Amino acid sequence: MAENKETKVEEKIELQREYVVPMRRGFLKVPSYRKAKKAVAVLKEFIAKHMKVEDRDVRKVKLDMYLNEEIWHRGIKNPLHKVKVKAKKINGIVYVELAEIPDFVKFKMARAENRASKVTTAGISHDDKNDHTEESEKSKTDEQKTDEAEKGKATQEAGVKENKAKAKAQKQTQQTKHEKNTTPRRTVLQK
């Protein structure tokens, strides 16, 4: 499903560029408790200017979730001074993402993708008892088809809940094992 979206996006790209965006000059003018917000605004303004967005409308500039996290990861008072980004203009809207993705961000992306695939595979179950021929499908009424669709949705939701419960149980069991070895050790004083 995600692959289909990516192929559609690649077909309609009007403009694609890489930039190193200097944000320091913009956020030096604001108080420290607003610096990261201003850095995001400066990034959007820079991209709107250089990617020739109509009327320089910053609402047509969409930042990637991981880019936003990269800007904010040091807190609101100390954002990144500059960042290398890749910008793609598609149907008048500019999508901005990190050009050089750090390893820990790649790990986050893979983890999110795995979770999404688990949810979709948990909802799809194949029963030998429910195999139908084409003739029986034609003879079904609209009510039966909607009932089957609702059952499919219900099984998918049940699968999602079950996966969440398993993940939670596994997380709790791992934490109890880990608590035994969490006493802080100062290696400098031990000889």
pLDDT digits (tens, 9 = 90+) for 147-191: 888 888 888 888 888 888 888 888 777 655 555 556 666 566 555
- Per mean pLDDT, which of 4-18, 87-101, 158-172 is the most reliable? 87-101
Out of 3.10.440.10, 3.30.420.40, 3.40.50.920, 2.60.40.10, the CATH code matching 11-98 is: 3.10.440.10
Mean pLDDT of the chain: 82
Q: Are 122 and 162 within 8 A, CB to CB?
A: yes
| Integer Cα distance of 30 and 34 in angstroms | 6
Q: Are 87 and 17 in contact (CB under 8 A)?
A: yes
pTM: 0.57
Would you kindly state where each structural domain of the chain is located, as residue ranges?
A: 11-98
